């Protein structure tokens, strides 16, 4: 075991997108990194540029035995994992009605159960040290896009689990940060599931309307490192002005919906003692307010 005072990162799927930029930034800063991918040979050039501080490992996050082997190897190399970074970036384009069972299950295995099982394997060491940080790239802070429902559902499931994990491990000195990488880190060109003619034109319009402004992955990687270095960091970190605006827009849409039906929500309260039971008000939202939420 080669111990080090420098933080040790474990970055899954480090060959593409923001995870690759994060691997570059971590190593350039002098920190150590275990870089994992299905094809670790694609990481060898980066490892060669940082001898003694980088280790490339094979990892398929849907294989629990492979997770155990990769984490054990990382811990043998440097004694610990201080920061775990992973992503849920795969897309599955198509209407909800068009989804194929095998592909949907594979999507959740890759984007939900894989990352969570990796986190569960790393957490015992972090708990023992009362220190550590888990970073998940999710892109689930925006409204669910049409014809991307399954991918968004998988990322949202990971986000919900990570949020619960945040509250579970925060008292133990461990941070959890959900990162929305702004540009939709991942394969935006995923083909639509074979399907139903009625959706053809609608899907085309949805794709054109969903274009997201790109972020600079190098700057985004630096922002993630700063959040981790701050201590336990934020629960949510949205990267890029456009992504932040979309997140604010989502909050406004939710508030409009809640406000429009607040009178009906209040009608479900248990009546206070001594007060007569009032019939619920009409089910229409306030005049002039439209909401689909």
Buried b (16+ CB within 10 A) or exposed e, 192-226: bbebeeebeeebeebbeeeebeebebeebbbbbbe
pLDDT tens track of the chain, all 293 residues? 555 689 999 999 999 889 999 999 999 999 999 999 999 999 999 999 999 999 999 999 999 999 999 999 999 999 999 999 998 767 778 888 888 889 889 999 999 999 999 999 999 999 999 999 999 987 655 566 778 888 888 888 999 999 999 999 999 999 999 998 875 454 444 566 567 788 777 776 555 445 556 789 999 999 999 999 998 779 999 999 988 888 898 899 999 999 999 999 999 999 888 766 565 555 555 555 454 55
- The pTM assigned to this predicted structure is 0.85
Buried b (16+ CB within 10 A) or exposed e, 240-267: beebeebbeeeeeeeebbeebbeeeeee
Per-residue model confidence (pLDDT) at position 211: 52
- Tell me the CATH architecture of domain 8-241: 3-Layer(aba) Sandwich (3.40)
Of 118, 124, 131, nearest in space to 84 by CA = 118
- Give domain limits for the chain: 8-241
């Amino acid at each position: 075991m080669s111990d080090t005072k420098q933080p040790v990162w474990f970055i899954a799927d480090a060959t593409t997108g923001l995870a690759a930029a994060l691997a570059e930034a971590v190593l350039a800063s002098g920190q150590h990194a275990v870089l994992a991918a299905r094809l670790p040979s694609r990481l060898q050039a980066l490892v060669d540029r940082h001898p003694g501080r980088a280790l490339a490992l094979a990892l398929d996050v849907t294989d629990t035995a492979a997770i155990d082997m990769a984490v054990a190897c990382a811990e043998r190399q440097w004694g610990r994992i201080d920061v775990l970074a992973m992503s849920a970036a795969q897309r599955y384009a198509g209407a909800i009605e068009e989804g194929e069972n095998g592909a949907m299950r594979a999507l959740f295995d890759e984007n939900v159960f894989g990352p969570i099982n990796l986190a569960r394997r790393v957490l015992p060491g972090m708990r023992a040290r009362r220190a550590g940080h888990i970073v998940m790239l999710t892109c689930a802070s925006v409204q669910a896009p049409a014809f991307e429902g399954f991918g968004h559902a998988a990322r949202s499931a990971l986000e919900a689990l990570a949020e619960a994990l945040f509250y579970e491990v925060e008292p133990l000195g461990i941070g959890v940060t959900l990162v929305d990488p702004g540009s939709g880190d991942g394969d935006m060109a995923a083909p639509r599931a074979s399907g139903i003619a009625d959706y053809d034109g609608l899907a085309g319009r949805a794709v054109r309307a969903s274009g997201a402004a790109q972020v600079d992955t190098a700057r985004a990687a630096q922002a993630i490192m700063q959040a981790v270095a701050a201590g336990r960091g934020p629960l949510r970190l949205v990267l890029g002005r456009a992504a932040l605006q979309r997140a604010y827009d989502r909050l406004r849409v939710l508030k409009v919906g809640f406000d429009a039906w607040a009178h009906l929500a209040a009608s479900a309260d248990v009546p206070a003692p001594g007060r007569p039971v009032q019939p619920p008000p009409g089910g229409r939202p306030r005049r002039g307010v439209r909401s689909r939420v």
